């Protein structure tokens, strides 16, 4: 019997910070971390080289802080530090599950995480380590979606996976409108033209320029990360000029 294997050599997986909340309104759920680490271990065991970008919205979101009157640059810097905290938590969970991993941060936190250096990230990936990219892009006014697209291009990922709470891209918010229509496939231009806010425009534009496929799927469905890595058709695929 043939052992299952990955359909890709190298991937970048974007996770939202809110995914770590569990049933809470703030913080990091140890139970969610444990389940997520087990899912990632299963996918990593298929032989894929894996980079991860995680948001910080479960702790602090820069845009929300700015909306409440904070200086946007300062608020975004706080959000970047929140992603470092999440990456450290996920690193701990992965190590407890026997998965070798490293945190590389675009924001220097000396003595806590390694600074992001592209050559160092590539070495870790080539040695079979999961690399958690923290600190966003290192600059304010950019989201972790943009950081995910940027890191995917820098490491030469074959695909960018965005794991969310819903099973793909819809024409309206499916959590508010049960009649929302899900797309199986979209072009980059259609995502931008329709204003489908599954990723910010800068991230979609980066992916379009490099012809980097983007797959949006539900991470809450057990086994979906493994299925995505194996190349199963799940969620919504964004690529090229093919329109829905």
Give the chain's mean pLDDT.
93
Detail the residues annotated as belonging to a binding site. 14-17, 56-57, 61, 76, 137-144, 164, 170, 173
Label residue 213 exposed, middle or buried (CB < 10 Å: 0-12, 13-18, 19+).
Answer: middle
pLDDT reported for residue 19: 85
Detail the residues annotated as belonging to a binding site for UMP. 56, 76, 137-144
For residue 241, pLDDT beyond 90: no
Detail the residues annotated as belonging to a binding site for ATP. 14-17, 57, 61, 164, 170, 173
Nearest to 143 by CA among 235, 75, 230, 189: 75
| Highest-confidence segment of 68-82, 121-135, 173-187 | 121-135
Q: pLDDT-derived band of residue 3, with 50, 70 and 90 as boundaries?
A: low
- The dihedral formed by the CA atoms of 192, 239, 149 and 11, expressed in degrees to the nearest 10: 160
Structural tokens at position 125 = 């990936």
pLDDT reported for residue 242: 46
Structural tokens at position 238 = 């964004």
The pLDDT tens digits of the residues spanning 5-20 come to 899 999 999 999 988 9
What domains can you pick out in the chain, each with its CATH number?
Answer: 10-238 (3.40.1160.10)
For residue 231, pLDDT beyond 50: yes
pLDDT reported for residue 148: 98
- pTM for the complete prediction? 0.93
For residue 101, pLDDT beyond 90: yes
pLDDT reported for residue 165: 84
Strand order in the sheet with 236-238: 114-115, 101-105, 130-134, 49-54, 10-15, 159-164, 214-218, 236-238, 185-186
Matching residue, tokens 């534009």: 205
For residue 166, pLDDT beyond 50: yes
The pLDDT tens digits of the residues spanning 127-162 come to 999 999 999 999 999 999 999 999 999 999 999 999
């Amino acid at each position: 019997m043939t052992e299952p294997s990955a359909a890709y050599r190298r991937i970048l997986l974007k996770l939202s910070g809110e995914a770590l909340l569990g049933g809470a309104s703030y913080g990091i759920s140890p139970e969610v971390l444990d389940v997520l680490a087990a899912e990632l271990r299963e996918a990593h065991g298929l032989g894929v080289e894996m980079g991860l970008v995680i948001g910080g919205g479960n702790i602090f979101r820069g845009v929300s802080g700015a909306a409440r009157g904070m200086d946007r640059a300062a608020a975004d810097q706080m959000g970047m530090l929140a992603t470092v905290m999440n990456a450290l938590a996920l690193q701990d969970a992965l190590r407890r599950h026997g998965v070798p991993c490293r945190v590389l941060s675009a924001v220097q936190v000396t003595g806590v995480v390694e600074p992001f250096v592209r050559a160092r990230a590539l070495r870790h990936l080539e040695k079979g380590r999961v690399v958690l990219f923290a600190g966003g892009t290192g600059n304010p006014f950019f989201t972790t979606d943009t950081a995910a697209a940027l890191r995917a291009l820098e490491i030469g990922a074959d695909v960018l996976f965005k794991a969310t709470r819903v099973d793909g891209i819809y024409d309206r918010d499916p959590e508010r409108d049960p009649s929302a229509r899900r797309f199986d496939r979209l072009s980059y231009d259609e995502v931008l033209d329709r204003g489908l806010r599954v990723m910010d425009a800068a991230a979609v534009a980066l992916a379009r320029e490099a012809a980097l496929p983007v797959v949006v799927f539900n991470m809450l469905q057990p086994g979906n990360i493994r299925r995505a890595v194996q190349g199963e058709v799940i969620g919504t695929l964004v690529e090229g000029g093919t329109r829905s």
